[in-house]
Structure 1
Amino acid sequence: MNIASNLSEKIRQIRLQKGLSQENMADMLGLSTTAYGDLERGRTELSVSRVENIAKLLDVPLPDLLGFESSSMSEAEWLRQENTRLLAANSRLQNELDQWKLKFRHWLGEGVIREIGQQRERIGF
């Protein structure tokens, strides 16, 4: 079993323990029953925000739902670590975006300058 199917199975088990039906969960999440069923069967990829919503609806700490032992790491600590990881990834992606913007400006600038030069040659400048 992979991580996604483990998570889907864990969601199903907790839902059943709480006495909720798939229809209940689908309604609370704003999904069709079919879409929610696909989620529990691992046919739909779960977004982070969707997992957070499910954890809240099931009244389960997010780290517990994701399979982290709450005794080894508090939810607050896990969230701090996740925040640090996401900030680092965001910074890396922002740097990459800035590099692509510079390349685009360089390519665009060269093309515009070349075009202006060709137009000037045609009219005799």
Structure 2
Amino acid sequence: MKTIAEKIRLYRLEHGLSQENMADSLGISTTAYGDIERGKTDLTLSRFYQIAEVLNISVAVLMGQTTPLQQELQQLAVEKLQIENEKLRLENQYLREKIAGRMIIDLIQKDAPTTSERQRIGF
């Protein structure tokens, strides 16, 4: 499980902010902010709320807590990916079979005698 300091860093990076941006927004030095991300500084509750506000996320999200609705949405996203994966697997299987069938037809046509090679029978 990620520490809160690691989560702060990840969310900062997701938002495209530098440590300098965060430090300026919080009114602290870049070194002081870097110490927060490295876990060297214990966060006060007010600073924690400030960080969440700058990152535009809830404190609960920053702490890693999810609501039942968020959990359900995550589960639905996983199920959607599983369905898409199965669809791609079936499409891949279909294309392989189609290619194999086409290769067989090409081999048969290659080995079949042309009309000039055929011998007339009978009459």
For this structure pair, what is the TM-score category when the shorter chain's length is used for normalisation? 0.5 to 0.7
Q: What are structure 1's unaligned runs of at least 5 residues?
A: 74-125
Identity of aligned residues (%): 53
CA distance in structure 1 between the partners assigned to 2:68 and 2:18 by the alignment: 30
1:12 aligns with 2:9: yes
Tell me how large the CA RMSD over aligned residues is.
1.7
**What CA deviation, in whole Å up to 9, does each residue of 1:14-37 have, x standing for no partner?**
000000000000000011000000
Given candidates 63, 71, 74, the residue that maps to 1:66 is 63
Which of the two has greater helix per residue?
Answer: 1
CA distance in structure 2 between the partners assigned to 1:63 and 1:34 by the alignment: 26
For residue 81 of structure 1, what is the aligned residue in structure 2?
Answer: none
CA distance in structure 1 between the partners assigned to 2:61 and 2:46 by the alignment: 16
SS of the residue corresponding to residue 3 of structure 2 reads helix
- Aligned amino acid, residue 57 of structure 1: V
**What CA deviation, in whole Å up to 9, does each residue of 1:89-124 have, x standing for no partner?**
xxxxxxxxxxxxxxxxxxxxxxxxxxxxxxxxxxxx
* Aligned residue-pair number: 70
* Bigger Rg, which one: 2
The TM-score, its normalising length taken from structure 1, stands at 0.53
- Aligned amino acid, residue 64 of structure 1: V
CA distance in structure 2 between the partners assigned to 1:40 and 1:56 by the alignment: 16
The TM-score, its normalising length taken from structure 2, stands at 0.53
Q: Contact 1:64–1:70 at 8 Å: present in 2 too?
A: no
For residue 23 of structure 2, what is the aligned residue in structure 1?
Answer: 26
Runs of 4 or more consecutive aligned structure 1 residues displaced over 3 Å after TM superposition: none
